[in-house]
Chain A
Amino acid sequence: MLEIEIDGKKLTVPTGSTVMDAANSIGVHIPHFCYHKKLSIAANCRMCLVQVEKAPKPLPACATPVTDGMKVYTHSDMAVKAQKGVMEFLLINHPLDCPICDQGGECQLQDLAVGYGQSGSRYEEEKRVVANKNLGPLISTDMTRCIHCSRCVRFTEEIAGYQELGMPGRGEHTEVMSFIGKTVNSEISGNVIDLCPVGALTSKPFRYSARTWELSRRKSVGAHDGLGANLVVQVKNNQVMRVLPLENEAINECWLSDRDRFSYEALNSAARLTQPMVKDGGQWKVVGWQEALELVATKLKGITASHGADSVAAIASPNSTLEELYLLRKSLAGLDIRNLEARTRLGDVRFETKAAGWLGQSIVDLAASESLLLIGSTLRKEQPLLAQRLRQSVKKGLKLALINPHDDELLCAVAGKLVVRPDQLVEGVLAVLKAAADITGKAVPADIDLAGVEVSTEARALAELIVAGEKKSLVLGNIALQHERAAELHAAAAALAEIAGATLGLLRDGANSVGADIVGFATNKDLITANKKAYVLLHSELADLKQGAKAAFEGAEFVVAMTSFADEARDYADVLLPVSPFSETSGTFVNMEGKPQSFNGVVRPLGETRPAWKVLRVLGNILGLNGFDYDSSEAVRGDVLNGDIAKVLDNTPAKAVAVKAQATAGLVRLAEVPLYETDALVRRAPSLQATVDAESAAQLRANAATLASFGLVAGGNACVQQGGASVTLAVAEDAGLPDQVVRVPFGRATLALGSGAIEVIKA
């Protein structure tokens, strides 16, 4: 600890602190631009110059290490003169176009200029003009406003992991730009908008749509992945205008993924469903809520009476709230309907955890692991901010290892990896398990047959890594959980975790996947291919479901879709109920670490839209059921989460599954859910759909040898046939894939495809 005095206040700070850290710790504000607590120190803006006793010149607080007995003056004549001098320099070439700048009202330069600037300028020479850059559909540029703080550059390099922005040029010719002809494509790129202290980088979708002071700030929770990022939703005239991160160090830190930031566009989409509708003689008709719900009640009652309760199934998006799911379960239970599923992309009906499947520990604890083995995950796309957090952990010593069917860059150092065919993922884990059993001399469970498992050097290296050390984690990602042998992967991974003494975690895809498990939206039946007589859909759409869903819905006697959008379900549903997206309802998401986060609606429901929990409460009453007199979503939540949540979380496989290595050959598909195909909102956010990532959702990718074996060329087209259907996709090369693997994403472009044998021909 070191003693320091700042503006006469004495304090002690840890060795290694900077003057800025010390000042922050006692709430002394030192003006700054380039300093950011999450970024490396650049010390280039010089706004933070302060006077330090015995130093002949003012020193930058952000970069000056505290020495014992140091005396700092942040507002002395010397300090203020230096700060004002810097402010003058920053302003001479700044356009001062605040009236037409989106940053106006939340601009650090504007704010500090009030305190440190002059009313007139002594600079009467020509001002600099800098050409704008095309950074893609999300970030708008006005580069003349740039003050060269390099925050954006450091962000791409240090936080996003790949330096997509740089500062070529010297002196006054220094400009922030992307690689020539390239845009900024990081999955977390939007954070540079928040970081930019001026209006050089602003939000493209938000551009010129409101002044910041007209916006109210309301808290919410990210609805597109398992992280549960905390949000500030900004609202004007009952419309969501933009979304910003709300700092929560334990979850999203001060960042936001682009998916959570820009998907709000869909909330204002013209495709929104605003009134209840029923299909009458093949024609859609607008009806009142009462009429619609009575029809639903009558139909469900009729079908259960004539075909039995097992003939009805409810399929919900894992982004539905805990309250919605609970009341759906409760109302259907009144008709004895028990077919409930929210794990809509699960690939293996045998997969079952003892209680709700979760990360196995907190996000913070996971990131503090000594070693982490990630199995079957495209982490940057599945959970962008978790990938970011682990990237920082790797810099601090985390050994991150992978077993994956691809070799995608995590943009951090990887301590070991095993790249296998997607249909050899189980065998990959078995190889590591065998090596780990070998090293530790521990036995594997009897259901796991290791005969014929070959241990490669890579597998052995992974085993050595995961058995050594203290705090170890083993995590199954979406590719693993969506795998057709997910139950075997689960069993093998659990055995490996046991032998290695590691914590087993599951990366759940939805905002409320864990909550859905808790409510009981997990059957071990395939509800789609079972062709039920009636389906109740909550926020889920065809692109969330497997092949055959459309046929199953069309073949059903009755389908009710509780949805926010009118543009899809009208093809197969009989009743459309407009229910609130997360922004228009109160509710709770339980994130991947088992943390329930409740939120309020940030805007009023659009048109006749109603929060689904209220709709289901009315349905319960219409069905004549008891216990539906809730007056708030909190009351509903109280019925579900009434005790220690840790007791309802358990990743242990519920039943033993026989695991055995299988030989595979031939062409195989690697199907993942692309970054911007995850849910109904994301799929309808135009700016996200204009990104490079969205483009790749309609691509077939394979390595050069595989492409050549089918006569395909990158840039050309391919016709893919699977499950009796075919689609045409653009072809791109992916050098990281094993031979005879085609990466064909799971999304709207490939919805027609089924599973099993796949064929590819040149188109």
Chain B
Amino acid sequence: MTVYVKGVVFEGVDFDDPKHWGIEAYMARGGYTALKKILSTGMTQDEIIAEMKTSGLRGRGGAGFPTGLKWSFMPRSFPGQKYLVCNTDEGEPGTFKDLDIIVDNPHALIEGMIIGGFAMGITVGYNYIHGEVFEAYERFEAALEEARAAGFLGDNILGTSFCFQLHGHHGYGAYICGEETALLESLEGKKGQPRFKPPFPASFGLYGKPTTINNTETFASVPYIIREGGQKFLELGKPNNGGTKLFSVSGHVNRPGNYEIPLGTPFSELLEMCGGMRDGKKLKAVIPGGSSAPVLPADIMMQCTMDYDSISKAGSMLGSGAVIVMDETTCMVKALERLSYFYFEESCGQCTPCREGTGWLYRVVHRIEQGLGRPEDLDLLLSVGGNIAGRTICALGDAAVMPVQGMLKHFRSEFEHHIEHKQCLVPGF
């Protein structure tokens, strides 16, 4: 379910119209005018990138890196092939926004990528789509066909000398392929595992060529920024947190779903939009930015606004905008066991701390959950986590550790109770 409150990605989408995703509906709501504007007014690459910088758009995939800055890193004058890649390998538990974009408004993404290609002088793009979403993949391919037929994609776009080819690529369902260099490896047909950086994709990316990779939502925000101007986008949010954002709300709320709202909206308001807590239960904790973000207890969370700075000040991160809401019936040991199991299963196995450490973390948490915990286990978890974090090739190691640290920071007593009483503090678990 997608709820459009205010923003750019789903602006004007009539979800009741069965063809709302198609090119006609998209154009009727102003789609492809940004592209036409660029190609007819002779807007330069520099001007586009400047506009992107003005917008304050930060990468929507999780890291929040300023998009305009990233685009400016692409060596535009590089003589060989360069690539533009969209990361729709949405695999983080709790995150499901990009899926809705390629299902409900795929042309916004396509137009955004075409504009990106133009701005960086790139002629070939790929969209890497998560492996387990078949219909969404087919929808994207259908939209690509429409765009090609309409002359927005391919050679000599709209009669100009600008050419851009865009292809969909269906992954195989590994979480790690959402890491951009693992994604590139997988796209090249190799085992999806992260590359050591440097070199960064901007200089050595797909097939060793300069490559820019952005998240689906990031690209889908581009047409609006070009059409309406970066300043207008910026003003939708708050300073340093420009624009609106999609939040995937899941868990114990009445209406889970994607909510597109301005950055800086108080969490309490978002919770209200979701119809409040399910069954009128009390809010216990929230994971505000996808499974790797440290959990925040209710009282802290209720003070937060939904933007990069506020959440980070509270000791967590906005990440991809996946908000996992837990009520008072949630056992935090069980919750952490689930999370740890996920990272243990999804570690690529390449580097030692993550391959060995994620299994260790999971096994200890599992043991505690089973009532076999020992008092020294909690310090062991923190120590093992400390040996993983910051020592790995990619951020998965950190991602596996942060939930552990967050849980033990705010809910240590619950774990101690589990160890001491060999059972859960929360009734029913």
Chain A interface residues (CB < 8 Å from chain B): 41-47, 49, 56-58, 60, 63, 65, 82, 85-86, 88-90, 92-93, 122-123, 125-126, 128, 147-148, 150, 166-174
Within the complex, the shortest CB–CB distance from A734 to chain B, in Å, comes to 28
Q: Could you write out 10 A-B pairs with CB less than 8 Å apart? A: A43-B351, A45-B352, A82-B387, A85-B391, A88-B387, A89-B387, A92-B360, A166-B191, A170-B345, A171-B348
Within the complex, the shortest CB–CB distance from B352 to chain A, in Å, comes to 5
Whether A171 pairs with B391 at a CB distance below 8 angstroms is: no
Whether A89 pairs with B363 at a CB distance below 8 angstroms is: no
Q: Which residues of A contact B344 (CB under 8 A)?
A: 171-172
Whether B345 pairs with A171 at a CB distance below 8 angstroms is: yes
Whether B390 pairs with A57 at a CB distance below 8 angstroms is: yes
Whether B353 pairs with A89 at a CB distance below 8 angstroms is: yes
- From B191, B356, B357, A168 is in contact (CB under 8 Å) with B191
Most buried by A among B345, B352, B359: B352
Whether B349 pairs with A167 at a CB distance below 8 angstroms is: yes
Q: Which residues of B contact A82 (CB under 8 A)?
A: 387, 391
Whether A125 pairs with B363 at a CB distance below 8 angstroms is: yes
Residue of B nearest to A88 (CB): B387
A45 to B391, CA, bound (A): 10
Whether A46 pairs with B349 at a CB distance below 8 angstroms is: no
Whether A46 pairs with B360 at a CB distance below 8 angstroms is: no
- From B345, B346, B391, A49 is in contact (CB under 8 Å) with B391
Within the complex, the shortest CB–CB distance from B215 to chain A, in Å, comes to 23
- From B351, B363, B386, A46 is in contact (CB under 8 Å) with B351
Whether B352 pairs with A125 at a CB distance below 8 angstroms is: no
Whether A174 pairs with B355 at a CB distance below 8 angstroms is: yes
Contact A58-B391, Cβ < 8 Å, known A43-B196, A148-B349, A171-B348: yes
A322 to B300, CA, bound (A): 86
Within the complex, the shortest CB–CB distance from B165 to chain A, in Å, comes to 27
- From A41, A43, A57, A172, B355 is in contact (CB under 8 Å) with A172
Whether B390 pairs with A174 at a CB distance below 8 angstroms is: no
Name the interface residues of B343-400: CB closer than 8 Å to any CB of A: 344-353, 355-360, 363-364, 367, 380, 383, 386-387, 390-393
Q: Which residues of A contact B191 (CB under 8 A)?
A: 166-168
B122 an interface residue at 8 Å Cβ cutoff? no
Q: Which residues of A contact B350 (CB under 8 A)?
A: 42, 44, 148, 150, 174
A173 to B355, CA, bound (A): 9
Q: Which residues of B contact A148 (CB under 8 A)?
A: 349-350, 352, 355
Name the interface residues of B172-195: CB closer than 8 Å to any CB of A: 174, 176, 191
Whether A172 pairs with B349 at a CB distance below 8 angstroms is: yes
Whether A170 pairs with B174 at a CB distance below 8 angstroms is: yes
Whether A170 pairs with B352 at a CB distance below 8 angstroms is: no
Q: Which residues of A contact B349 (CB under 8 A)?
A: 148, 167, 169-174
Contact code string B241-267 (vs A, CB < 8 Å = 1, else 0): 000000000000000000000000000
A147 to B345, CA, bound (A): 18
B18 an interface residue at 8 Å Cβ cutoff? no
A147 to B352, CA, bound (A): 8
A169 to B347, CA, bound (A): 10
Whether B345 pairs with A90 at a CB distance below 8 angstroms is: no
Residue of A nearest to B359 (CB): A172
Whether A46 pairs with B391 at a CB distance below 8 angstroms is: yes
Whether A170 pairs with B347 at a CB distance below 8 angstroms is: yes
Within the complex, the shortest CB–CB distance from B279 to chain A, in Å, comes to 37
Whether B352 pairs with A89 at a CB distance below 8 angstroms is: yes
A719 to B393, CA, bound (A): 58
Whether B198 pairs with A65 at a CB distance below 8 angstroms is: yes
Q: Which residues of B contact A171 (CB under 8 A)?
A: 344-349, 355, 358-359
Contact A170-B196, Cβ < 8 Å, known A46-B392, A122-B380, A125-B364: no
Q: Which residues of B contact A58 (CB under 8 A)?
A: 390-391
Within the complex, the shortest CB–CB distance from B175 to chain A, in Å, comes to 9
Given contacts A44-B352, A44-B393, A172-B344, 12 further A-B contacts (CB under 8 A): A45-B351, A46-B391, A85-B387, A85-B391, A90-B356, A125-B363, A125-B364, A148-B349, A170-B347, A170-B349, A173-B349, A174-B355
Chain B interface residues (CB < 8 Å from chain A): 174, 176, 191, 196, 198, 344-353, 355-360, 363-364, 367, 380, 383, 386-387, 390-393
Whether A85 pairs with B346 at a CB distance below 8 angstroms is: no
A171 to B176, CA, bound (A): 10
Within the complex, the shortest CB–CB distance from B330 to chain A, in Å, comes to 26
Whether A93 pairs with B352 at a CB distance below 8 angstroms is: no
A63 to B351, CA, bound (A): 13
Within the complex, the shortest CB–CB distance from A112 to chain B, in Å, comes to 12
Q: Which residues of B contact A49 (CB under 8 A)?
A: 391
Contact A90-B352, Cβ < 8 Å, known A57-B391, A168-B191, A170-B174: yes
A126 to B392, CA, bound (A): 23
Whether B352 pairs with A63 at a CB distance below 8 angstroms is: no
Within the complex, the shortest CB–CB distance from A519 to chain B, in Å, comes to 52
Most buried by B among A65, A85, A93: A85
A58 to B347, CA, bound (A): 21
Whether B353 pairs with A85 at a CB distance below 8 angstroms is: yes
Whether B367 pairs with A86 at a CB distance below 8 angstroms is: no
Q: Which residues of B contact A172 (CB under 8 A)?
A: 344, 347, 349, 355-356, 359
Whether A86 pairs with B353 at a CB distance below 8 angstroms is: yes
Q: Which residues of A contact B357 (CB under 8 A)?
A: 89
Contact A44-B367, Cβ < 8 Å, known A171-B344, A171-B346: no
Most buried by A among B176, B191, B391: B391
Residue of A nearest to B398 (CB): A57
- From A63, A85, A123, A125, B367 is in contact (CB under 8 Å) with A125
Q: Which residues of B contact A147 (CB under 8 A)?
A: 352
A231 to B238, CA, bound (A): 70
Most buried by A among B198, B344, B351: B351
Residue of A nearest to B366 (CB): A125
Residue of A nearest to B393 (CB): A43
Within the complex, the shortest CB–CB distance from B371 to chain A, in Å, comes to 16
Q: Which residues of B contact A92 (CB under 8 A)?
A: 356, 360
Within the complex, the shortest CB–CB distance from A314 to chain B, in Å, comes to 57
- From A63, A89, A126, A167, B356 is in contact (CB under 8 Å) with A89
Q: Which residues of A contact B380 (CB under 8 A)?
A: 122
Residue of B nearest to A49 (CB): B391
Q: Which residues of A contact B345 (CB under 8 A)?
A: 170-171
Q: Which residues of B contact A42 (CB under 8 A)?
A: 196, 350
A584 to B287, CA, bound (A): 73
Residue of A nearest to B176 (CB): A170
A122 to B191, CA, bound (A): 32
Whether B352 pairs with A86 at a CB distance below 8 angstroms is: yes
Whether B196 pairs with A41 at a CB distance below 8 angstroms is: yes
A174 to B358, CA, bound (A): 14
Residue of A nearest to B380 (CB): A122
Within the complex, the shortest CB–CB distance from A110 to chain B, in Å, comes to 17
A86 to B354, CA, bound (A): 10
Within the complex, the shortest CB–CB distance from B388 to chain A, in Å, comes to 8
Q: Which residues of B contact A122 (CB under 8 A)?
A: 380, 383
Within the complex, the shortest CB–CB distance from A469 to chain B, in Å, comes to 24
Q: Which residues of B contact A89 (CB under 8 A)?
A: 352-353, 355-357, 360, 387
Whether B364 pairs with A44 at a CB distance below 8 angstroms is: no
A65 to B204, CA, bound (A): 15
Whether B360 pairs with A63 at a CB distance below 8 angstroms is: no
Q: Which residues of B contact A168 (CB under 8 A)?
A: 191
Residue of B nearest to A89 (CB): B356
Q: Which residues of B contact A93 (CB under 8 A)?
A: 356, 359
Residue of A nearest to B354 (CB): A171
A584 to B353, CA, bound (A): 49
Q: Which residues of A contact B393 (CB under 8 A)?
A: 43-44
Q: Which residues of B contact A90 (CB under 8 A)?
A: 352, 356
Q: Which residues of B contact A60 (CB under 8 A)?
A: 196
Q: Which residues of A contact B364 (CB under 8 A)?
A: 125
Most buried by B among A92, A167, A172, A174: A172
A41 to B198, CA, bound (A): 12
A128 to B351, CA, bound (A): 16
A170 to B358, CA, bound (A): 12
